[in-house]
Structure 1
Amino acid sequence: MRTSYKVSFWEIRPNVGGPRSRNAGKVISYTVRWLVAGREKSQTFKKSTPAKNFLSDLRQAAKNGEEFDIDSGLPLSKLPPKTEEKPARTWLEFSRSYIDMKWPDAAPNSRDGLTETIATVSPALVHEDASGAPDPELLRRALRAYYLAPQDREEPRPVGVAEALAWLEKASLPMPDVAKPTNVRAALNALSRLLNGKPAAASTVARKRAVLHNAFEYAVELEELDHNPIDKVKWTPPKLAEEVDWRVVIGPRLMRECLTAVTYVGKRGRGRRLRALYACMYYGALRPAEAVALHIEDCHLPATGWGRLVLCRSLPESGSRWTDSGSTHEQRGLKLRPLAEVRTVPIPPVLVQILRDHIAEFGTAEDGRIFQTERGGIVGSTAYGDVWAATRLLALTPAQVASPLARRPYDLRHAGVSLWLNSGVPATEVAERAGHSVKVLLQVYAKCILGQHDRANQRIDEALDD
């Protein structure tokens, strides 16, 4: 506010109606005029008494030595009382409301990703002069275990955790400041690094950036920001490798050897229990979560010929603290599909027979699941990951074990899709069976389609011979 003591006044000016007015020649209003710091001010009244009283108040204020506001022209005593502006919400306060909005409909792994992203960027969105920052690992754990997830907020906080969160609550930037390019860049840089300072995987950076972008979109929706600030920051994320590495693809002969070798892994038939699971990933190109969720009623397994699997559910694995049930698995629909949508996968006779043999030997779980632990539980990723690692040691040469060849169980799905493509199955049919769009299919498996180089070279040779 700019003020001044330099004030002067004119006499009240009567305003007379014009010749075409009904009040022609009559006084219709009275204008009070005065100067504040050389700037003319005025206010008009319908009657003379209010005008005289107003001018008298102005003169009395000037006589009393009051300061006058230059913009409004009024003495400070005449200004309307200031309304207390509510301080802007901080990033930390906003981020918790964002998680509350997303939480009810988010899958368990998405909940995990939400809290991980917010816990990663929040320590970077603080005031420049905020000193005494807690240990980064403690701060991230405090956010993930005591502050962000709705079910954790009432948990008793250890002294160190409480102090770390108190520091962050005080240091967190107000939302308008978060949108400044320097702060957005700081958040992006934070999500591109691990706690040890090493670069994060490109897929991790892409996932966290998507969460941050969505959070800013929600802030725009709530009118806490007027635009998404990420869109105005020139920041290049690490290159995301979207194509499957062709070296992971295992061929049919070697896969048969692995399916034999797995029966020798573990005690009490542990490997035998998982043989059909790996076969589903390879011959049916099922995702692990889809294979684990396979029920007996999903399977058409004739005595001879091709069968089919009708997939309608998956059992993705996550930490129990992210599920509503408290279990490590929570049943979901198929990935990237509406909840009730199904996917039909024709399966070759070799897989039909493997599944028939598996069911004959191990039966099914009480709820109809084909794959179960010895006690009827859901097969976890650690179990089928460990058994597959031991299988590779038995079935592959040392050089193959050291290579990327079928290093993870998920690579069996990649190999199955690659087998279909290399067999000449149209991309539209492969995409339908694998649960992809054609665009994603060709983008991801471009380098796994073999034999094209030789055919291309042959065509070029023929052209050169003309």
Structure 2
Amino acid sequence: MASKLYRYRKNSWRFAVSQGFTKVTDPVTGKTRLKRNQKWFTITARTRKEAEAKMAEILDQLNKGTYVEPSKKTLAEFLREDFIPHLQAKGRSPSTVRGYQINIEQHIIPHLGDLPLEKIAPIHIEGWLNTVTLTNGGRPTARSLQYWRAILHRALEYAVEMDLLPRNPVDKVKPPKVERRKPESFSREELEKILDAAKSSRYYALIATAAMTGARLGELLALRWDAVDFEQGTITIRRTLLDTGNQRTGREPFFKETTKDNEIRVVPMAAPLVSILKNWRKRWIEERMAIGGGYFDRFNLVFPTETGWPMSESNINRDWKVIFEKAGVRKLSPHKLRHSFATRALDAGADLDTVAAILGHSSVLVTKQFYVDSREEAKKSAVNRLADFLLSTGSLDARS
């Protein structure tokens, strides 16, 4: 039997549920009496109608035996103290667990971490997905939002399994829709301008390698010199940088010892790239000697900072925009160099299977989906050139 619902304070309501009686003996008089056992519930609601609906739901759960006691933990405490150890206990690989930790610490906890676990509602999650920004102030892609939502969903699903939540609030929040857009890439003329503008910067070799191999930026930032074979003219891509760490605080960088597609691939280097990397190697040795080895020796990265520490993608995004502006080209993200490699290679006559293998795509369908559409202008140009040729030879009469 439940007591009447009453307002406790603003947006807060209380009611009690009788749980029978207990015999209590007075230690002085020795008399026995019955004491009513009650369990009090506090509900957060703006209106009485909303509070009554929540009260009815709790009573229904009590009758069915499915009621879950609210957890006093915050979301941050649950994620750090329960969910991450759960992943480790389940035998997830260190790189997988670390990937979860990075995304949780950078994108979930700063926005939702202070909320009590029991009070997380769909409105909080939807608000987070609609307003979250990156460290540079920009909006994340829909794919990133989908991934972060999936992490939170998995974490709160574990909370439901452990009877810390009655249901998963993420279920009521639709994942962001990913709109397929035609991938952007730099033209051959733009690439020439970018490389020319970057020649005097520390980024020249990195930009040239990205443009001439199609490797992901994270893969290049994790590249070690022992993966560069000048004699064979190849680069072996076997890992990626997940977390730059922090040199000042001593937080270690984290490298995932596999690529995004969990495969090792060998990418050939064109002769000009071999020369560029050999010249960069000389400068790298000079910088290493200037500080006495240090992180240069420890990490042996091909493209580190001036101290030998891993480069930050956010700093690269910022600095490369300056180079792109100097070159007078569109300020696309560095990742577009990967798109540019694919489209330029296809334009030059390379087949899809070869390009897919170089890029490390799991299927040629991925390559086709992302890059073939971007060649529409090239196809139009080819058709127009053919028409011009036929007109010039008199084979085609535009007046007929």
Both proteins in one fold, TM over 0.5: yes
Bigger shift: residues 237-246 or 222-231: 222-231
User: Separation in 1 of the partners of 2:174 and 2:203?
Assistant: 43
- Please state if 1:214 is matched with 2:143: no
Task: Tell me what 2:236 maps to.
Answer: 310
- The offset of 1:101, in angstroms, is 2.8
- Please state if 1:202 is matched with 2:142: yes
- The offset of 1:278, in angstroms, is 0.8
Task: Tell me what 1:259 maps to.
Answer: 195
- The offset of 1:236, in angstroms, is 4.3
Which amino acid in 2 is paired with 1:336?
A: K
- Please state if 1:356 is matched with 2:278: yes
Conservation of the 8 A alpha-carbon contact between 1:262 and 1:387: no
Instruction: Tell me: CA distance 1:452–1:218, structure 2 relative to 1, closer, same or farther (3 Å).
Output: farther
- Please state if 1:371 is matched with 2:303: yes
* Number of equivalences: 301
Q: Deviations over 1:23-64 (max 9, x none)?
A: xxxxxxxxxxxxxxxxxxxxxxxxxxxxxxxxxxxxxxxxxx
Task: Tell me what 1:113 maps to.
Answer: 103
Conservation of the 8 A alpha-carbon contact between 1:312 and 1:342: yes
Conservation of the 8 A alpha-carbon contact between 1:312 and 1:334: yes
User: Separation in 1 of the partners of 2:352 and 2:167?
Assistant: 40
Conservation of the 8 A alpha-carbon contact between 1:301 and 1:308: yes
Instruction: Tell me: CA distance 1:191–1:374, structure 2 relative to 1, closer, same or farther (3 Å).
Output: closer
- The offset of 1:425, in angstroms, is 2.5
Please tell me the root mean square deviation across aligned C-alpha atoms, in Å.
4.1
- The offset of 1:282, in angstroms, is 0.5
In structure 1, which of residues 311, 333, 347 is the aligned counterpart of residue 257 of structure 2? 333
Work out which of the two has the higher radius of gyration on C-alpha atoms and give 1 or 2.
1
Task: Tell me what 1:289 maps to.
Answer: 218
User: Separation in 1 of the partners of 2:226 and 2:106?
Assistant: 38
User: Separation in 2 of the partners of 1:204 and 1:453?
Assistant: 34
Q: Deviations over 1:233-256 (max 9, x none)?
A: 3x544432454532xx22334323
Instruction: Tell me: CA distance 1:218–1:335, structure 2 relative to 1, closer, same or farther (3 Å).
Output: farther
- Please state if 1:98 is matched with 2:34: no
Q: Give the 5 Å matches for 1:210-289.
A: 210-222=150-162, 230-231=170-171, 233=172, 235-243=173-181, 245-246=183-184, 249-264=185-200, 271=201, 273-289=202-218
Q: Give the 5 Å matches for 1:175-194.
A: 183-194=121-132
- The offset of 1:378, in angstroms, is 3.1
Task: Tell me what 2:367 maps to.
Answer: 441
- Unpaired segments ≥5 residues, structure 2: 3-33, 35-66, 89-93, 289-295, 388-395
- The offset of 1:227, in angstroms, is 6.8
Which amino acid in 1 is paired with 2:276?
A: I
Conservation of the 8 A alpha-carbon contact between 2:244 and 2:311: no
User: Separation in 2 of the partners of 1:116 and 1:362?
Assistant: 32
- Unpaired segments ≥5 residues, structure 1: 3-65, 67-84, 123-139, 144-167, 265-270
TM-score for both structures, normalised by structure 2: 0.61
Instruction: Tell me: CA distance 1:452–1:101, structure 2 relative to 1, closer, same or farther (3 Å).
Output: farther
Task: Tell me what 1:164 maps to.
Answer: none
Task: Tell me what 1:23 maps to.
Answer: none
Task: Tell me what 1:431 maps to.
Answer: 356
Where 2:240 maps in the other structure, the secondary structure is coil
Conservation of the 8 A alpha-carbon contact between 1:220 and 1:228: yes
User: Separation in 2 of the partners of 1:204 and 1:255?
Assistant: 28
Instruction: Tell me: CA distance 1:333–1:454, structure 2 relative to 1, closer, same or farther (3 Å).
Output: same
Task: Tell me what 2:11 maps to.
Answer: none
User: Separation in 1 of the partners of 2:175 and 2:69?
Assistant: 34
Where 1:370 maps in the other structure, the secondary structure is coil
Which amino acid in 1 is paired with 2:103?
A: G
Give % identity: 24
